[in-house]
Amino acid sequence: MLHGYGSSILDGAWLSVSLALLAMALAIGLGLFGAACRLSPLRWLAGLGEVYATVVRGIPDLVLILLVFYGGQDLVNRLALALGYQQYIDINPFVAGVCTMGFIFGAYLSETFRGAFLAIPKGQAEAGAAYGMSGLQVFWRISLPQMVRLALPGFTNNWLVLTKSTALISVIGLQDMMFKAKNAADATHQPFTFFLAVAALYLLLTSVSLLLLRGVEQRYSVGFKAAEL
Amino acid sequence: MTLDYQLIWQNLPLYLNGVALTLKVLLISLACGLALAIPLALMRVSRTCLLRYPAWLYTYVIRGTPMLVQLFLVYYGLAQFEAVRQSPLWPYLSSATFCTCLAFAINTSAYSAELLAGSLRSTPRGEVEAARAMGMSRLTLYRRILLPSALRRALPQYSNEVLMMLQTTSLASIVTLVDITGAAKTFNARYYLPFEAFITAGLIYLALTFMLVRLFKLAERHWLAYLAPRKH
């Protein structure tokens, strides 16, 4: 299939999927942390969360990817030299990709999570406090499970954007499906065929994600009735 | 570690030309995209299956694939076909600026069509009924009532789309254009100062974002004044 490049592109697709999944795991962690910061009563912490969300969302992904890749390379090597390590260190594009994507989408998710937390009726947390739970217990037992349902639509959206953004990591040399397709296109002079194949793979990926996440959404909405309009 | 801003000042024209190109690509693709989006949105809410489904498929496919893939399909992909290379359009299709604007316009048209269709669907029932009672034909109804009202109400969401497009324009640097990101890449290649190069680019994008946000706030105050909460 595809002049024998089919399997190599599929390998690349697997790399894209694992990159997206790992980056999302990191983004969920950072997003929760960011949302907690922004909702904190401490002014400086809330301000810090606000700066993180605003700055990252105002700068294109590509610029941040290039900054982390080239800048990170520079920083790591200067540090290594300072520590007396002589060899030149190359940053792995996969690691750079996971870190950058996680960092970027953490900012977007902090916005989603913050909105979801604010949408939980205040009485829920108050009831938890009335039972004598600590702030952390209220967060873990009361707010977080309810937040999942409210955050899912925004989360789905962010996941789809993240999946599609992984194509950008090919720019810093990750051998994902985009990179493999570019190589195959250059070798066979059939760019349209190969990029169309990549487009189809991405469409498959986004369609499957959409179906799965819709199922999860239904699962978490059990017991909630939508208002009849 | 200190940032060397002397060199950034010396290379200011490089960045300023980048800003000009970014804004040019952004404006062209937004204008063409919106022009495409309006008929698409009308198709999307049409009661005729033959109009509705093609528009749905178009927006679904465009929104389900990465912008970079679409850009490569237009910029590298089209040249695969002999017929395209022989066509009178080839001088345009072999230009990076034209291809970039074309790909961006197609991309934003799908997203804008979807949000416009949502806005059309949420038109208050009474407005349409009143127009019918006045004896307006379907065409007049769309021209006088539905479109002006839907376009206004879509403004807050459209501002988000414009901000996303501003970020998307950075992909132009991948197909050799020297926009803001392209300028940063050139600067980095020349002096090997990645922090200075990309942080400057990031700050310029941030400034542009804030300006656009401000601009849309003003536009909303002008066109959506009737929806603002009442001031007593």
By Cβ distance, the residue of B69, B166, B202 closest to A202 is B69
B99-126 pLDDT tens trace: 999 999 999 999 999 999 999 998 888 8
By Cβ distance, the residue of A64, A75, A178 closest to B68 is A178
- Across the interface, whether the CB atoms of A66 and B79 are under 8 A apart is answered no
Domains and CATH numbers, chain B: 5-224 (1.10.3720.10)
Q: What is the pTM of this model?
A: 0.90
pLDDT band at B3 (very low <50, low <70, confident <90, very high): low
By Cβ distance, the residue of A55, A70, A190 closest to B194 is A70
- Across the interface, whether the CB atoms of A167 and B66 are under 8 A apart is answered yes
- Across the interface, whether the CB atoms of A207 and B210 are under 8 A apart is answered no
Query: H/E/C letters for each residue in chain B?
Result: CCCCHHHHHHCHHHHHHHHHHHHHHHHHHHHHHHHHHHHHHHHHCCCCHHHHHHHHHHHHHHHHCCHHHHHHHHHHHHHHCHHHHHCCCHHHHCCHHHHHHHHHHHHHHHHHHHHHHHHHHCCCHHHHHHHHHCCCCHHHHHHHHHHHHHHHHCHHHHHHHHHHHHHHHHHHHHHCCCCHHHHHHHHHHHHCCHHHHHHHHHHHHHHHHHHHHHHHHHHHHHHCHHHCCCCC
Domain covering A17-174, topology: MetI-like fold (1.10.3720)
pLDDT band at B182 (very low <50, low <70, confident <90, very high): very high
- What interface predicted TM-score (ipTM) does this complex get? 0.89
Domain definitions of chain A by residue range: 17-174
Indicate if the pLDDT at residue A1 is higher than 80. Answer: no
pLDDT band at A227 (very low <50, low <70, confident <90, very high): low
What is the arithmetic mean of pLDDT over A202-211? 95
CB contact residues (below 8 A), chain A span 82-111, against chain B: none
Higher pLDDT, A84 or A59: A59
What integer pLDDT is reported at residue A109 of this predicted model? 95
